[in-house]
Structure 1
Amino acid sequence: MKKMFVYRTLNLLLPAVFFVLTSCVAQNEELSLRSKDNFNKISLSLTKDGKLSYKVFRKDKTIIEDSPLGLVFENQDFSSGLVVENVSAVEEKREKYELKVANNKVADHVFKSKSVMFKNKQGTIMTIDLIAGEQGVAFRYRFADKEKEPRILKNELTGFHIEQKAKGWLQPYNKAGDYTPGYEDFYINVKPGDPISGARGESVGWCMPALFNVNNTQNWVLIAESGTDGSFPGCHLAPDSKDGIYSIAFAKNDEKFTLPLPDKGTAYPQSNLPWTMPWRVIMIGDKAGDILLSTMITDLAPASKITDTSWIETGKAAWSWWSHPEDFTPEMYKKFTDVSASFGFKYTLFDAGWEKANKDGKIIDHALSKGVKPLVWGYSSEYFDPEKRKKRFKELADMGVKGVKIDFWCSDRQEVMAALQSVFEDAAKEHLLVNLHGTTMPRGWHRTWPNFVTAEAILGTESYFYEPRFPEKAAEQNTVLPFTRNVAGPADYTPFALTFRKYTRLNTAAHELAMTMIYTSGIIHFADSEEVFASLSDDLKTLFKEMPATWDKTECIIGEPGKAIVLSRQKDNLNYIVGINGTNVSQPISIDLKKYAKGFSKFKIISEGKDPLMEFKVESFPVTSKWQYNLVPKGGFIIQFIK
Structure 2
Amino acid sequence: MSHATPATAVEISTGRRRAVLAIADGRPALELLLDEAPLAFIALGVDVDGADLAAGTAIVGSDDREVREEWDAALGKATGPRAAVHRETTVTLRSGTLTWAVVVRVSDDGFAFRYVLPATAASLGAEHTRIDAGDHGRAWVLEYQTWYETPRFGSDLRDLAAGSYGFPVLVECDPQRFLLLSESDIDGRSSGAHVDWDGTVFHVTTADDRIEVEPGHRTPWRVIVAGTLAEVVATELIDALAPAAQPGALRPRPGRAAWSWWSSQYSGAYLDVQKRFTDFAAEQGWEHVLVDCGWDAAWVPELVSYASARGIQVHLWSAWSDLDGAEALRSLALWRSWGVAGIKVDFMESESQERYRWYDAIIAESARVGLVVNFHGSVIPRGWARTHPHVVSYEGIRGAEYYVFYGHPLTAAHNVIQPFTRNVVGSMDYTPVTFSAPERETTDAHELALGVVYESGITHFADDPDQYRSRPLAAAFLAELPATWDEVRLLDGHPDTHAVVARRSGDRWFIGGIGAHTSDAVVELDPAALVGGPAAVWAIGDVDGALTELAAPEPGTRMRVPLAPRGGFVAVVAPAAAPVRRAVQRAELPRPTVAESLIVLRGTEVTVGTDAAAVRTPPGWTADRGADGEWIVAPLHRPDQGDVAVLTLENPGHDGVPVVSHVRVLTPFDGGVHDVSRLPFVSARNAVGPVERGRANGGGDPRDGGPLQVRGVSYPDGLGVSQDSEITIAVAGSATRFTGSVAVDDETPDTAAVAEILVDGVTAARLTPSATTAPLPFDIDVTGASLLTLRTSPDSADETHVDWLTLRLSE
Structure 1's 590 and 546: CA in aligned 2 closer, same or farther, altered over 3 A? closer
1:205: which partner in 2? 164
- Give the counterpart of 1:411 among 325, 350, 355: 350
1:305: which partner in 2? 246
In 1, the alpha carbon distance for the partners of 2:48 and 2:279 equals 57
In 2, the alpha carbon distance for the partners of 1:394 and 1:218 equals 50
- Give the counterpart of 1:294 among 214, 224, 235: 235
Shift of 1:457: 0.3
Q: Secondary structure at the match of 1:86?
A: strand
In 2, the alpha carbon distance for the partners of 1:605 and 1:44 equals 50
- Give the counterpart of 1:126 among 100, 103, 108: 100
* Structure 2 residue identity aligned to 1:172: E
Shift of 1:357: 6.7
Shift of 1:478: 1.6
Structure 1's 168 and 295: CA in aligned 2 closer, same or farther, altered over 3 A? same
Q: Once superposed, what is the RMSD of the aligned Cα atoms?
A: 2.2
The higher relative CO (CA closer than 8 Å, separation ≥ 6) is in 1
* Structure 1 residue identity aligned to 2:427: P
Partner deviation per Cα, 1:113-158 (whole Å, 9 max, x = no partner): 111111112x11111101011101111001362x5xx722221100
Q: Secondary structure at the match of 2:400?
A: coil
In 2, the alpha carbon distance for the partners of 1:229 and 1:561 equals 31
1:633: which partner in 2? 565
2:365: which partner in 1? 426
Partner deviation per Cα, 1:293-328 (whole Å, 9 max, x = no partner): 11111111001125255x521111101111111332
| Alignment pair present for 1:220 and 2:178 | yes
- Give the counterpart of 1:563 among 497, 504, 511: 497
| 1:317–1:526 Cα contact (<8 Å) kept | yes
Partner deviation per Cα, 1:333-375 (whole Å, 9 max, x = no partner): 111111111211111100010126726x933332234431100
Q: Secondary structure at the match of 1:333?
A: helix
1:13: which partner in 2? none
| 2:263–2:462 Cα contact (<8 Å) kept | yes
Matches within 5 A, 1:111-122: 111-121=86-96
> Which of the pair is proportionally richer in strand?
2
* Structure 1 residue identity aligned to 2:233: L
2:210: which partner in 1? 268
- Give the counterpart of 2:35 among 59, 62, 74: 59
Matches within 5 A, 1:589-608: 589-598=523-532, 600-608=534-542
- TM-score normalised by length of structure 2: 0.67
Q: Secondary structure at the match of 1:532?
A: helix
Partner deviation per Cα, 1:388-409 (whole Å, 9 max, x = no partner): 21x1110111011100000000
In 1, the alpha carbon distance for the partners of 2:493 and 2:69 equals 26
Matches within 5 A, 1:59-208: 59-65=35-41, 67-88=42-63, 90-105=64-79, 106-121=81-96, 123-143=97-117, 145=119, 147=120, 151-174=122-145, 181-192=146-157, 194=159, 196=161, 205-208=164-167
5+ residue gaps, structure 1: 1-25, 175-180, 198-203, 253-266
In 2, the alpha carbon distance for the partners of 1:75 and 1:602 equals 65
Matches within 5 A, 1:229-628: 229-238=187-196, 240-242=197-199, 244-251=200-207, 267-285=209-227, 287-309=228-250, 311-327=251-267, 328-355=269-296, 358=299, 362-389=302-329, 391-471=330-410, 473=411, 475-501=412-438, 504-537=439-472, 539-598=473-532, 600-612=534-546, 615-617=547-549, 619-628=551-560
Partner deviation per Cα, 1:162-188 (whole Å, 9 max, x = no partner): 2110100011113xxxxxx21001112
In 1, the alpha carbon distance for the partners of 2:500 and 2:57 equals 48
* Structure 2 residue identity aligned to 1:340: A
2:806: which partner in 1? none
Q: Secondary structure at the match of 2:189?
A: coil
Partner deviation per Cα, 1:245-285 (whole Å, 9 max, x = no partner): 10011215xxxxxxxxxxxxxx5232121311100111101
In 1, the alpha carbon distance for the partners of 2:98 and 2:272 equals 65
Shift of 1:289: 1.5
Q: Secondary structure at the match of 1:273?
A: coil
| 1:520–1:549 Cα contact (<8 Å) kept | no
Structure 1's 118 and 458: CA in aligned 2 closer, same or farther, altered over 3 A? same
In 1, the alpha carbon distance for the partners of 2:428 and 2:298 equals 28
| 1:306–1:428 Cα contact (<8 Å) kept | no
| 1:603–1:622 Cα contact (<8 Å) kept | no
Q: Secondary structure at the match of 1:580?
A: strand
In 2, the alpha carbon distance for the partners of 1:605 and 1:516 equals 14
| 2:448–2:474 Cα contact (<8 Å) kept | no
In 2, the alpha carbon distance for the partners of 1:47 and 1:602 equals 59
In 1, the alpha carbon distance for the partners of 2:166 and 2:458 equals 25
In 2, the alpha carbon distance for the partners of 1:272 and 1:110 equals 29
Q: Secondary structure at the match of 1:589?
A: strand
Q: Secondary structure at the match of 1:275?
A: coil
| 1:107–1:295 Cα contact (<8 Å) kept | no
In 2, the alpha carbon distance for the partners of 1:351 and 1:581 equals 31
Farther-moved stretch of structure 1 (69-78 vs 165-174): 69-78
Aligned length: 569
* Structure 2 residue identity aligned to 1:413: S
> Which of the pair is proportionally richer in helix?
1
Structure possessing the higher radius of gyration over alpha carbons:
2
* Structure 1 residue identity aligned to 2:70: K
Structure 1's 306 and 482: CA in aligned 2 closer, same or farther, altered over 3 A? farther
In 1, the alpha carbon distance for the partners of 2:78 and 2:491 equals 15
In 2, the alpha carbon distance for the partners of 1:334 and 1:536 equals 21
In 1, the alpha carbon distance for the partners of 2:43 and 2:373 equals 37
Q: Secondary structure at the match of 1:272?
A: coil
Shift of 1:597: 3.0
Farther-moved stretch of structure 1 (123-132 vs 187-196): 187-196
| 1:51–1:80 Cα contact (<8 Å) kept | yes
Q: Secondary structure at the match of 1:565?
A: strand
In 1, the alpha carbon distance for the partners of 2:519 and 2:198 equals 33
| 1:330–1:357 Cα contact (<8 Å) kept | no
* Structure 1 residue identity aligned to 2:421: T
5+ residue gaps, structure 2: 1-5, 579-811
| 1:520–1:550 Cα contact (<8 Å) kept | no
**What is the aligned-residue identity percentage?**
26
| 1:604–1:621 Cα contact (<8 Å) kept | no
* Structure 2 residue identity aligned to 1:573: D
Matches within 5 A, 1:24-39: 27=7, 30-35=9-14, 37=15, 39=16
In 1, the alpha carbon distance for the partners of 2:249 and 2:533 equals 35
In 1, the alpha carbon distance for the partners of 2:161 and 2:135 equals 16
